[in-house]
Each structure stands twice: as C-alpha cells, then as structure tokens.
Amino acid sequence: MLRLEKLVKTYKTGDQALKAVDLEIPEGQVLALIGPSGAGKSTLIRCINRLVEPTSGNVYLAGTELTGLSSGALRKERRRMGMIFQEYALVERLTVMENVLSGRLGYVGFWRSFTRRYPQSDVDEAFRLLDRVGLLAMADKRADELSGGQRQRVGICRALIQNPALLLVDEPTASLDPKTSRQIMRLVCELCQERGLAAIINIHDVALAQMFVQRVIGLRFGAVEFDGPPEALTPDVLTTIYGEEDWEATIAKVEDEEEIEVAE
C-alpha cells in the first residue's frame, strides 16, 4: 500500500537525514517509528507526503509514484494522506467544527473553501467523527478553549475527514501527559483498525509504541536498524538503536503501564 525505495534526504546543510531507506507497509498496518533524536523520523514522515522534498528515491502510494508528481497532482494525492501533528496545528480562533471541516479543503472547490461553505454530507461526517472521539458537545467551542488531549482529538478528526488511506502521525503525544498520551495512542490505533487504515506513527516513547502497535521500525543515523514486532525490542536491540541506557527499566515500565491500563 505504501512502498519507499532507496529514499534519500540530504539537507542543504549537508545533513544526511535519510540514507537509502527501503520500506513496505501493507494495507491497514499501523507501525511505530522510533529512534534517537536526529535519526530522521520526522524527515521520513515528511518525505512521504513531500512536505520535505526527497533528494532521491521513490515513494509509491497504492501504486502511484509520488516523487515525480506535479504540484496539482500531488495536491490530489495528499488527500489520501492524513497528517496528525505534535502541536495539533489547529486554527485557534476557529471552532472545533470548523477545524475538523478544514480537513475537507482539499476536496471542495475554490469558492467553497474561500467562504468555508461545506456540503451537508461533510458536516454530518464531522459530527459523526466528533461523536466517535467524545467531543460532540464541544463542536461550537473555539480551539483555544480546549485541553491538549481535546485538541489532538480534533486533529485526529481533521485528518480522518479527509478519508485518507494512510495516516502520517508525527509525535502525537509529545505535548501530553502520560495518561492522555495512552488515550490518544489507543484512539489512533483503534480508529485505524476500524477503518482499515495504515499509519506511521513517529513516537519518542518506546514503551508507548510497544503497547499499541504490531510493528516497530527503529531508525538510527537515517537508516533502518530494526524492523520487527514490539516484543522483539530487547535491551540489546534498543541499545543498537539508541546506544547504552538502562533498558530493563523501560521494558519494566511497559509491564507497569499494562497494569495501570487494566486498573483504569
């Protein structure tokens, strides 16, 4: 469903953020992208939808090669890739409903988007999504009146209303407390399962990644160092990805968290 072939990104500064990354993601698979700071996680996610232009290599989304597309064709393909950001990227002075509907801007014509007039079917879908994430009562609130967890739920709805085939999720929990982080990760993973959506989730927190996804990719210095199920992330493997650290403590944390989840 998504295939990366020898994807390279070298920034103008000379930083080699990605070194010939090959990766294939089947339909409906949710994977976590982990790795130390500077490993290239954000660059990888942004090269897929070309928010960052790859230096070389290819990206195929359901058979369509994205790297060679003109800007008009790329705009259409981007509809199939929903993005969720660490800092939510909401328009603060707009309501929750307006923020969710802005996910449809790639579909409505210029005048409709200019006047922010959306078809009733889009409004109905926005209500359904807000209901699903528990924010129906907040539809008319301004975005700047929401908590971090609520904002991220709006960000999730805005990505889903695009009706994407793939979700690109860049550190969704980095600004949230541990409990809200777990709730958001669970929500993203459940929604992907419900909709048969594939997702790549860039996440700093290894324990959180292990709790929720079926596959983990470990990046180090712009290359894939690990590709496997979460249970294969042994202390030795984590050391090859991140360097020396007390990984027994991190893995123990996963077990603790699972107990917390059961208790919650």
> Is 15 near ligand ATP (CB under 6 A)?
yes
Site string for ligand ATP, 143-172 (x = CB under 6 A): ------------------------------
Q: Which residues of 150-189 are buried (b: 16+ CB within 10 A; e: fewer)?
A: bbbbbbbbbbbbbebbbbbbbbbbebbeeebbbbbbebbb
User: Cα(97)–Cα(100) distance, rounded to whole angstroms?
Assistant: 5
- Contact in structure between 209 and 201 (CB atoms under 8 Å): yes
- Residue 20: CB atoms within 10 Å: 15
Residue 35 binding ligand ATP, by CB under 6 A? yes
- Residues 73/102, Cβ–Cβ less than 8 Å: no
The mark string for 43-72 relative to ligand ATP (x by CB under 6 A, - otherwise) is x-----------------------------
Told to check if 13 binds ligand ATP by CB under 6 A, we report: yes
Cβ at position 205, least distance to ligand ATP in Å: 11
Tell me the closest approach of the beta carbon of residue 96 to ligand ATP, in angstroms: 28
Q: Using CA of residue 110, residue 116, residue 119, residue 123, what is the dihedral sign?
A: positive
Question: Which residue lies nearer to ligand ATP by CB, 47 or 61?
Answer: 47
Stretch that binds ligand ATP, among 40-48, 114-122, 149-157, 252-260 (CB under 6 A): 40-48
Give the one residue of 21, 39, 168, 241 binding ligand ATP; rule: CB under 6 A. Answer: 39
DSSP classification of residue 95: B
**Cα Rg of the chain (Å, integer):** 19
Applying CB under 6 A, among 1, 8, 19, 38 the residue interacting with ligand ATP is: 38
Among 20, 42, 79, 257, binds ligand ATP (CB under 6 A): 42
Q: Quick check: 240 and 219 in contact, CB under 8 A?
A: no
- How many Cβ atoms are within 10 Å of 84's Cβ, its own excluded? 23
Whole-angstrom distance, CA of residue 181 vs CA of residue 173: 5
Interface pick for ligand ATP out of 21, 32, 40, 102 (rule CB under 6 A): 40
- Choose between 17 and 135: whose C-beta lies nearer to ligand ATP: 17
- Nearest distance in Å: CB 84, ligand ATP: 15
Residues near ligand ATP (CB under 6 A):
11, 13, 15, 17, 35, 37-43
